[in-house]
């Protein structure tokens, strides 16, 4: 009951803020709405019992990525409080139709498949614990993710260097 209410509230926040984020004229507001969407998503993770994932979401996404957006907006700021190069109404309408058609198609597929299983019961201690997760991430065994982990770390390193090089002043 309480979970249902929480889910509905989160869903409302996510969808409402998502729609606002893609329709608002002001880019700063769009970034802010995105932040609410990301918080909502983190809430969903918490609701499913994936507390570590939720906190990563909050830290990396809502904390890091959105801050990056805000900074970028401030750096490139002046020109466009509003989008003066807006798309034509016809194109907007075409995109809306495509999106609605796709969403309808997906919902039809999902509902007709009947996933009637409750996934809101908290998971077992063992699966959700950070200790197990950490061991699995750093193990090279059968369910180990050491190699992807290292690759991702190299990727992040490369990204740091790359973005520094791209964005530096010449």
Partner 1 sequence: MDRLNDIINIVSAIHVDMTWFLILSALMMFIGIYGFLTRRNTLAILISIELMLNAADINFAAFNRLLFPDGQEGYIFTLFSIAISAAETAIAIAVMINIYRNLKNNFVGNLDKLKW
Partner 2 sequence: MEYTILILLLPFISFLFLGLAGKWLSHRTSGLIGTTVLAVITILSYCTAYEYFTADRCADGAYATLVPYNMTWLPLGHLNFDLGILLDPISVMMLIVITTVSLMVHIYSFGYMRGEKGFQRYYAFLSLFTMSMLGLVVATNIFQMYLFWELVGVSSYLLIGFYYTLPAAVAASKKAFIVTRFADLGFLVGILIFGYYTGSFSFDFVSNLQMAEGTTPFIPCGIDKAVAAGGFILPTALTLMFIGGAGKSAMFPLHIWLPDAMEGPTPVSALIHAATMVVAGVYQVARLFPLWVTYAQDWMPVIIWVGVFTAFYAASVACAQSDIKRVLAFSTISQIAFMMVALGVCTEITTGHEHAGSIGYMASMFHLFTHAMFKACLFLGAGCIIHAVHSNEMEAMGGLRKYLPVTHATFLISCLAISGIPFFSGFSSKDEIISACMAYSPAVGYIMTAIAAMTAFYMFRLYYGIFWGTENKALHEKHTPHEESIMTAPLVVLSIITVGVGVYTTLAGFGLFEGYSFGSLISADGHDYRIHFDLSVASLSTVIAICSIALATYIFKGETQPVADRMYAAAPQLHRWAYKRFYMDEVYQFITHRIIFAYVSRPIAWFDRHVIDGFFNFLAWGTHSLSYNIRTLQSGRVQQYALVFLLGILILILMII
Q: Residue 16 in contact with residue 23, Cβ under 8 Å?
A: no
Binding mask 110-149 for partner 2 (x = CB under 8 A): --x-------------------------------------
Q: Does residue 95 touch partner 2 according to CB under 8 A?
A: yes
Output 94 or 161, the one with its CB closest to partner 2.
94
What ranges in 77-145 are assigned the alpha helix state H?
89-113, 125-128, 130-138
Name the one range near partner 2 by CB under 8 A: 61-69, 78-86, 99-107, 145-153.
99-107
Q: How far is CA 108 from CA 3, 59, 77, 104, 126, in A?
A: 25, 35, 42, 6, 36
Which residue from 109, 116, 164, 167 is in contact with partner 2, where contact means CB under 8 A? 109
Per-residue interface string for the shown chain with partner 2, residues 52-91, x marking contact by CB under 8 A = ----------------------------------------
CA distance 150 to 137: 10
Task: Name residues whose C-beta falls within 8 Å of residue 115's C-beta, 6 or more positions apart in sequence.
Answer: none
Question: What is the nearest approach in angstroms of partner 2 to the Cβ of residue 22?
Answer: 13
Closest among 32, 10, 11 to 20, alpha carbons compared:
32
Nearest approach, Cβ of 140 to partner 1 (angstroms)? Answer: 14
């Amino acid at each position: 009951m309480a979970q249902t209410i929480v889910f509905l509230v989160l869903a409302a926040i996510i969808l409402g803020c998502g729609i606002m984020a893609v329709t608002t004229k002001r880019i700063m507001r769009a970034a802010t709405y995105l932040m609410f969407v990301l918080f909502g998503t983190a809430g969903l993770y918490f609701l499913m019992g994936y507390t570590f994932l939720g906190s990563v979401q909050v830290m990396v996404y809502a904390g890091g990525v959105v801050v990056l957006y805000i900074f970028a907006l401030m750096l490139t700021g002046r020109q466009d409080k509003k989008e003066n190069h807006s798309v034509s109404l016809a194109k907007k309408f075409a995109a809306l139709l495509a999106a609605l058609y796709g969403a309808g198609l997906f919902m039809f597929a999902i509902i007709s498949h009947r996933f009637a299983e409750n996934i809101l019961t908290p998971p077992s201690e063992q699966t959700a614990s950070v200790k197990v997760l950490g061991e699995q991430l750093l193990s090279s065994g059968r369910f180990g993710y050491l190699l992807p982990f290292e690759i991702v770390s190299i990727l992040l390193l490369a990204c740091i260097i790359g973005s520094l090089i791209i964005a530096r002043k010449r």
